[in-house]
Amino acid sequence: MKTSTSYLLAKYIWLLNIIYEAGSYGISREEINRLWRGCIYNDNHEPEISRKTFYNYKCEIENLFEITLEPVRIDGHFRYRIAEEDSLQRSQVKRLLLNSLSINEAVSRGGDLSGRILLEDIPSAGGAVLSTILQALRQSSALSLVHKSFKPDSHPVSSVVYPFCLKLREQRWYMLAWKPSDSTARVYGLDRIGECSLTEEEFDARKVAKCILNGGRDAAPEDYFRDYYGVLIDDTVPLMDVTVRVFTSQYVNYFRSLPLHSSQVEVNTVTAGNSGPVSPEHVLGQSSYQMSDSAYSDFVYHIHPTLDFTRKLLSYGQFVKVLSPEEYVKEVSDMVRQAAENYGK
């Protein structure tokens, strides 16, 4: 019987995953045992996880992941679930870690699947720069770095910065930092950092947070990006309510299952059964493509509509139309018109 630390960890991850996937309704011991009988970690083909072993696994999971697996009586039976107040369901970092560990263990124990699990490449992930920044965050140490923008005619710039947080966005890592030389908050793409090293200078993380977050007592790093689509921060773009119409039930479901922004609210829905067909002229780009059904929904975003947000909307082509406000409709229309002219050249 395998008892190595890594093998036990794999079992903990397996158990935590199935409890996590069960959601608020939880999962019973009987259901866990049924899944255990077909689990790749059940080397001895045991019919169940003994109560003592289950209790030991539960304690180890709670210690390792700092969560609570609570037993609750539902429909007359005890079921196990992650405590609602626990941070795992709210923490993106823990979910990412759990998913990564689960995939790693499944691949290592399930045969040679490396060629059949396709992951996106992250240019700046796992390198020396990321490791150095993580160390600086832990120690509150200033960083000396050389950064080169993608803008035309830009040159490498050397700076000393106080790192504040890391953000993963569309396959790229970014660092939000305070630049003391000009008292500004800056976002740096890690794949554009050529050199990065720790300095002997230490900084007060609480003072840096106060400067970057404008002194908000309960503010958190994510608040800095809250009203933006991604990492492109531009306070010259006003905060506004943007209404977007999404055509066809297929694309509406895409928006519902993975909102573009945390502020997304669906305010109007028309199904195929109670509306006439949507003409192509009503669709962004005025394509001649005929819609497969006449369903559409309107979504509202409270956001600074910076260029990255606009590009995301345009990526949906004729299936998305900006309805308001007027100044933003004009901006998007001008971009669509320019794109059409480029194809006509």
**CATH number for the domain running over 128-225:** 2.30.30
| Among the four given CATH numbers 3.30.70, 1.10.1060, 1.10.1760, 1.10.10, the one describing domain 5-114 | 1.10.10
Taking CB atoms within 8 Å and a gap of at least 24, the contacts of 121-128 are 121/171, 122/168, 122/171, 122/172, 122/173, 123/171, 123/172, 123/191, 124/172, 124/173, 124/189, 124/190, 124/191, 124/193, 125/173, 127/190, 128/196
Q: Mention every residue, 6+ apart, whose C-beta is less than 8 A from residue 186.
A: 161, 176, 177, 178, 179
Residue 320 to residue 336: CA distance in whole angstroms: 12
pLDDT 10s digits, 313-345: 999 999 999 999 999 999 999 999 999 999 876
Give the best-scoring range by mean pLDDT among 101-105, 129-133, 155-159, 341-345: 155-159
Residues 75-126 have pLDDT tens digits of 888 899 988 766 555 566 666 666 666 666 666 655 566 667 776 776 655 4
* Interior angle at CA 125, CA 124 and CA 131, nearest 5: 100
What confidence score (pLDDT) does residue 275 get?
Answer: 46
For the entire predicted model, the pTM comes to: 0.68
For the chain, the structural domain boundaries read: 5-114, 128-225, 240-344
Are residues 262 and 309 in contact, defined by beta-carbon separation less than 8 angstroms?
Answer: no
Question: Same fold for the domain at 5-114 and the one at 128-225?
Answer: no
pLDDT of residue 283: 40
In this predicted structure, the answer to whether residue 2 has a pLDDT above a threshold of 60 is: no
Token pair 């970057």 is found at 212
Supply φ then ψ for residue 83, to 5 degrees. Answer: -55, 135
**CA-based nearest residue to 177, from 215, 221, 214:** 221
- Asked if 260 contacts 252 with a C-beta cutoff of 8 angstroms, the reply is no
Q: Distance between CA 148 and CA 157 in Å, rounded?
A: 6
Task: Give the per-residue pLDDT at 148.
Answer: 87
What is the reported pLDDT for 168?
85
Predicted local distance difference test score (pLDDT) of residue 244: 97
On whether the CB atoms of residues 148 and 188 are closer than 8 A, the answer is no
DSSP 259-292: -SSTT-EEEEEE-GGGSPPPPGGGSTT---PPPS
Lowest-confidence segment of 196-210, 274-288, 327-341 by average pLDDT: 274-288
Q: Are 171 and 121 in contact (CB under 8 A)?
A: yes
- Ramachandran area for residue 69 (φ above 0: left; ψ -120 to 50: alpha; else beta): beta
Spatial contact of 26 and 80, defined as CB atoms under 8 Å apart: yes
Which of 22-36, 137-151, 204-218, 319-333 is predicted with the least confidence, judged by mean pLDDT?
A: 204-218
Fold of 240-344: Alpha-Beta Plaits (3.30.70)
